[in-house]
Chain A
Amino acid sequence: MEEILLSHGSGGKLTQNLIDEIFIKELDNEILRSKNDAAILDLEGERLAFTTDSFVINPIFFPGGNIGELAVCGTVNDLATSGAIPKYLSLSLIIEEGLPITELKQVIKSVSETAKKAGVKIVTGDTKVVAKGEADKLYINTTGVGSLSTKLNISADRAKPGDMILVNGNLGEHGIAVLSERKGLEFETIVKSDTAPLSGLVSDILEVTDQVKVLRDPTRGGLATTLNEIAEASQVGIKLQEDKLPISETVEAASQMLGLDPLYLANEGKLIVIVPEEEVEDVLEAMQKSEYGVKSAIIGQVTADEPGRVVLENNFGASRVLDMLTGEMLPRIC
């Protein structure tokens, strides 16, 4: 008998299998099939982006953020990566009996502040309370809609050989910040989660070009997994330059200590941008001027070789495959 394992929720290969073999198989339609972070809907001539996301993070408070801020950013970012301007969000809470009201207040305060920053309104919601032990403190679901210009065509399947790949800053910080607070693993770190709404950065990019091919936020599974999804969807190869990848020394050191790879660690305020080569300098400049894009960098290029595969080239001339995350990353043994 096959059962659901934690790895089915890691955002990697097993999650893909669930999506393909159960969800798409049973629920198939042309919008779902496009497998983008947000569905693009045509409502009587108006284009809307529509998405939903649930947040079950443990612990609910972590260096640089909390579950409330995350719940707004997650959904806002899924809308923004379709090129939409996020407008309205719903907020549903599943609360475990015994949660201190002060903690709930703190979370909702963050929701409010983050929504303001992202320019969205929370317009509907729901609350359920379950008995102690039947949930872990607090789970949040947010659903969001945004409006989308008809000029844009941004989708994971649009990368073409020659296109350039950019990212807006240091990778893996959310993953390390959350791990540092996790029970049994507490370690001191100055790394803070990168949780941030990306709607502003996206509109700054769209101001200099309407030729953006792909926007994705590399959350669970990290940069490596998201780039694999893009390579697969667009049927192209992707070649990255290892020394161009922005990774802070603290994240690098913590990853080594824990036996993790920063390229697979979750981010909550990162954006992968794929644009035609002739647009890349303008886009880089626009990104570096934006609040959440100061450390933006060009990290690689789309190629015609080995469709579906991501390859990492290091600075002494060797290259290796950068695979999808298969299962949860686990601590090493020696």
Chain B
Amino acid sequence: MQVLKKYRNPELIKPMLNEISELSQKLDEELKLMEVCGTHTMAISKYGLRSLLPKNIKLLSGPGCPVCVTSQQEIDEMIALSKMPEVIVTTFGDMIKVPGSNSSLEKEKSRGADIRIVYSPLAAVEIAKENPEKIVVFLAVGFETTIPVIAAALEEAIEEGIDNFKLFVAHKLIPPALEALLNDNEVKIDGLICPGHVSIMIGSKAYEEVVNRYDLPAIVAGFEPLDILDGVKGALKQKVEAQVEVEDKVKAKVENRYGRVVKDEGNQIAQDLIRRLYQVVDTAWRGIGIIPNSGLELRDEYAEYEIRNVIDLDVGDSNEPQGCSCGEILKGIKLPYDCQLFGDVCNPQHPVGPCMVSSEGSCAAYYKYDRR
């Protein structure tokens, strides 16, 4: 933790804020940066960073909260699954409170459904081993950070012949989502603060295509206050340089400012593991819709491990709750305060949308730390 203390040291943070403030005076217009990752949103709120930045720099949260972008249909399917007596549902804790159309996993648990919170998918494999008469399903929600860990658990289950272990694959991929966002005319973003954890796996190079196509800076940043401010400074600097040299305009670039853990190429072993087990498919994001090549499914030879290939979960058509602005908030078009439900109708005790319950949800972050 001594290492981390450095990144919270006021002796380092204050000069950084001064640099940002000086640079920001050179901006021609407001700078809107999107922090793609929900963990960044949480940290920004937790450390009160928004209040320390100059008024012409805005931080907007992005789609990087895996629970928040899980579609209503999938949530309803997970809930339906948990009601089946032959099934044990295992999940990371974040999914438990997410409201479905009529229920939640938390409510089903209180009614007797066998739902178990695990910290690691390997624990779910253990549960499958201990309960051979049951089907043990792990809710595989998450981005590139989480996918390899779950893939490794599945490989272990396959090797050990634990056939009653299944996945509910609802994984999503970050770069295609960024591409889709930047293609959306409603979305106005001048730069990206890219997710540190995801980047450990996919590498900082993974953002180059997006950066080149849309000519906007993308900074890979860590999660401590100094890391995040350093990311803001990086994007700000690029922006200021780009506006000065009009004739020979400087191209925007990817900067890896989380070099203590992120490599340009990412983690090859993890990437190989994902390719071995999964193939890329189109998938629906909550509030955004279907994004091409942004999801995964198990390859044909492993299809029997996808629970939806084993059990038919017909939940009909699911609709997202009325009035919930999760979609626009995920796209950085609205702030949580702008949602008419925020606070009174929708709060952590009575969440309407997943953004209010996930530990990385924007609404949860604003409600918890930044309530006005």
Interface string of B103-129 (1 = CB under 8 A from A): 000110111000011110001001000
A14–B349 CB distance below 8 A: yes
**B66 contacts partner chain A, Cβ-Cβ < 8 Å:** yes
Select which of A6, A7, A249, A316 is within 8 A of B10 by beta carbon: A316
Q: Closest residue to B94 on the A side, CB-wise?
A: A333
Give the CA-CA distance A256 to B8 in the complex, in Å.
14
Give the CA-CA distance A333 to B170 in the complex, in Å.
13
Select which of A6, A14, A319, A330 is within 8 A of B94 by beta carbon: A330
**B222 contacts partner chain A, Cβ-Cβ < 8 Å:** no
Q: How far is the CB of B273 from chain A (nearest CB, A)?
A: 16
B142–A320 CB distance below 8 A: no
Q: How far is the CB of A308 from chain B (nearest CB, A)?
A: 12
Select which of B97, B110, B117, B360 is within 8 A of A327 by beta carbon: B97
Stretch from B47-55, B175-183, B202-210, B282-290 that touches the partner: B47-55
Interface string of B27-39 (1 = CB under 8 A from A): 0000000000001
CB-contacts of A1-39 with B (<8 A): 3-7, 13-14, 17
Select which of B109, B119, B142 is within 8 A of A185 by beta carbon: B119
CB-contacts of A205-250 with B (<8 A): 249
B10–A315 CB distance below 8 A: yes
Interface string of A177-195 (1 = CB under 8 A from B): 0000000110000000000
- Identify the interface centre among B93, B126, B358: most chain A CB within 10 Å of its CB: B93
Q: Closest residue to B2 on the A side, CB-wise?
A: A249
**B343 contacts partner chain A, Cβ-Cβ < 8 Å:** no
A317 partner residues in chain B, CB cutoff 8 A? 10, 14, 52
A334–B349 CB distance below 8 A: no
Interface footprint category on A: 20 to 34
**B67 contacts partner chain A, Cβ-Cβ < 8 Å:** yes
Q: Closest residue to B145 on the A side, CB-wise?
A: A334
B348–A326 CB distance below 8 A: yes
B348–A327 CB distance below 8 A: yes
B337 partner residues in chain A, CB cutoff 8 A? none
**A45 contacts partner chain B, Cβ-Cβ < 8 Å:** no
**A318 contacts partner chain B, Cβ-Cβ < 8 Å:** yes
Interface string of B349-372 (1 = CB under 8 A from A): 100000000111000000111110
Give the CA-CA distance A326 to B10 in the complex, in Å.
30
**A149 contacts partner chain B, Cβ-Cβ < 8 Å:** no
Q: How far is the CB of B297 from chain A (nearest CB, A)?
A: 20
Give the CA-CA distance A315 to B225 in the complex, in Å.
11
A330–B93 CB distance below 8 A: yes
B13–A334 CB distance below 8 A: no
B368–A323 CB distance below 8 A: yes
A330–B117 CB distance below 8 A: yes
Give the CA-CA distance A330 to B143 in the complex, in Å.
19
A314–B47 CB distance below 8 A: yes
B48–A320 CB distance below 8 A: yes
A331–B47 CB distance below 8 A: no
CB-contacts of A271-322 with B (<8 A): 314-321
Select which of A7, A259, A320, A330 is within 8 A of B46 by beta carbon: A320
Q: How far is the CB of B14 from chain A (nearest CB, A)?
A: 6
A53 partner residues in chain B, CB cutoff 8 A? none
Q: How far is the CB of B228 from chain A (nearest CB, A)?
A: 12
Q: How far is the CB of A175 from chain B (nearest CB, A)?
A: 15
**A252 contacts partner chain B, Cβ-Cβ < 8 Å:** yes
- Identify the interface centre among A4, A7, A316, A331: most chain B CB within 10 Å of its CB: A316
A256 partner residues in chain B, CB cutoff 8 A? 1, 4
Give the CA-CA distance A7 to B97 in the complex, in Å.
10
Select which of A316, A319, A331 is within 8 A of B225 by beta carbon: A316
B349 partner residues in chain A, CB cutoff 8 A? 13-14, 17, 326-327
**A253 contacts partner chain B, Cβ-Cβ < 8 Å:** yes
B360–A321 CB distance below 8 A: no
Q: How far is the CB of B233 from chain A (nearest CB, A)?
A: 15
B106 partner residues in chain A, CB cutoff 8 A? 5-7
A321–B368 CB distance below 8 A: yes
**A105 contacts partner chain B, Cβ-Cβ < 8 Å:** no
**A332 contacts partner chain B, Cβ-Cβ < 8 Å:** yes
Give the CA-CA distance A256 to B46 in the complex, in Å.
13
Give the CA-CA distance A17 to B348 in the complex, in Å.
14
B52–A332 CB distance below 8 A: no
- Known pairs A14-B349, A256-B4, A334-B360. 6 more at Cβ < 8 A? A3-B110, A321-B369, A323-B368, A331-B118, A333-B92, A334-B143
Closest 6 CB pairs of A and B: A318-B48, A330-B93, A326-B348, A316-B10, A320-B369, A331-B93
Binding site for B on A (CB under 8 A): 3-7, 13-14, 17, 184-185, 249, 252-253, 256, 258-259, 314-321, 323, 326-327, 330-334
Q: Could you name 6 residue pairs across A and B whose Cβ atoms are closer than 8 Å?
A: A3-B107, A259-B359, A315-B8, A316-B8, A321-B369, A333-B93
